[in-house]
Amino acid sequence: MKKFFSNLSAEKKLAMFAIALGIIAVFAGDPYGKNSLKINAKELSLISSDEIGKVKVEDLADDIIKSKSDFRLIDLRKSEEYAKYNIPNSENIQVDQLLNSDLQRNEKIILYSDNDIEATQAWFLLKTNNYKGVNIILGGLNNWKENILFPKCDCGENPTIEQKHKHDKLAAVSKYFGGNIQTNSSEENLVKNEMPQLSAPTGIILKKTLGKKKREGC
């Protein structure tokens, strides 16, 4: 066998090398891999915004409090931003890594970024790759901040019972996630909001603001 090879001319060796590579190529897979996909132009133009599964921040907050776990919450932001703050139970996967991640095509996936734009981009990417249950958080993290962490109470000086209930609920939810409720009259308060620390307890800050709230009679 050895002799057979050494007796071959250089061209023949090269030819055999080429054939070997050709045979490997048959089993090597698709060179375009995950970098290209076929998009039906007609289908694309007909996708309406209704088809994008949207999750309201309130519903998401409810699900997290009830510790539902039938979905994967994906944070699309950069890892530094993710490290600073993220919605509980979320995982950090950037858009360019989505298709290489361990996300399954039959999972319920909820995407979020700071706003809807990046999330929609990711939604489209996953959708065109045949992921079935892809959703985005409406308004993204900005909306989460505004309505869950630091919600504003629209009740005035003398709240009705309904308003009071609503306020208590908002306060409880925002407290759960380490935020605090905003009141109409404390405008200087709005500026100072800092994102909740991920590991540090937030109790102390909460107590302060809760006290304030009482004073202001909302």
Partner 1 sequence: MSAPFFKFDYFGTDVSLIIAFLIGIAFGIALEKGGFGRATILAAQFYFTNMRVLKVMFTAIITAMLGLFFLSVIGFLDLSLIYLTPTNVMPNLIGGLVAGVGFVIGGYCPGTSIVAVATGKIDAVVYLIGMFFGIFVFGEMFPSIEEFFNSTAMGSVTLPQFFNIPYGVIVFLVVLMAIGAFTAAEWGEKKMANKSLEKKV
Q: From edge to edge, which strands make up the β-sheet containing 108-112?
A: 53-55, 133-137, 108-112, 72-75, 90-92
- Distance from C-alpha of 76 to C-alpha of 96, rounded to nearest angstrom: 9
Residue pair 173/149 in contact by the 8 Å Cβ criterion: no
Nearest-approach distance from CB 114 to partner 1, in angstroms: 25
Kindly state whether residue 4 participates in binding partner 1, applying the rule CB under 8 A. Answer: no
Contacts of 71 (CB under 8 A, 6+ apart): 63, 107, 108, 109, 110, 135
**What DSSP assignment string belongs to 139-190?**
THHHHHIIIIISPBP---SS--HHHHHHHHHHHHHHHHTT---B-TT-HHHH
Choose between 1 and 26: whose C-beta lies nearer to partner 1. 26
Residue pair 71/63 in contact by the 8 Å Cβ criterion: yes
- Distance from C-alpha of 65 to C-alpha of 82, rounded to nearest angstrom: 20
Kindly state whether residue 8 participates in binding partner 1, applying the rule CB under 8 A. Answer: no
Nearest-approach distance from CB 132 to partner 1, in angstroms: 25
Kindly state whether residue 18 participates in binding partner 1, applying the rule CB under 8 A. Answer: yes
Q: Identify which of 145, 138, 148, 102 has the alpha carbon closest to the alpha carbon of residue 117.
A: 138
Kindly state whether residue 10 participates in binding partner 1, applying the rule CB under 8 A. Answer: no
Q: What residues numbered 26-85 form the site for partner 1, per CB under 8 A?
A: 26-33, 35-36
Nearest-approach distance from CB 16 to partner 1, in angstroms: 9
Options 8, 23, 190, 210; binder of partner 1; rule CB under 8 A? 23
Choose between 25 and 210: whose C-beta lies nearer to partner 1. 25
Nearest-approach distance from CB 11 to partner 1, in angstroms: 8
Choose between 29 and 158: whose C-beta lies nearer to partner 1. 29
Kindly state whether residue 25 participates in binding partner 1, applying the rule CB under 8 A. Answer: yes
Options 8, 19, 39, 83; binder of partner 1; rule CB under 8 A? 19
Nearest-approach distance from CB 97 to partner 1, in angstroms: 13
Residues that bind partner 1 (CB under 8 A): 11, 15, 18-19, 21-23, 25-33, 35-36
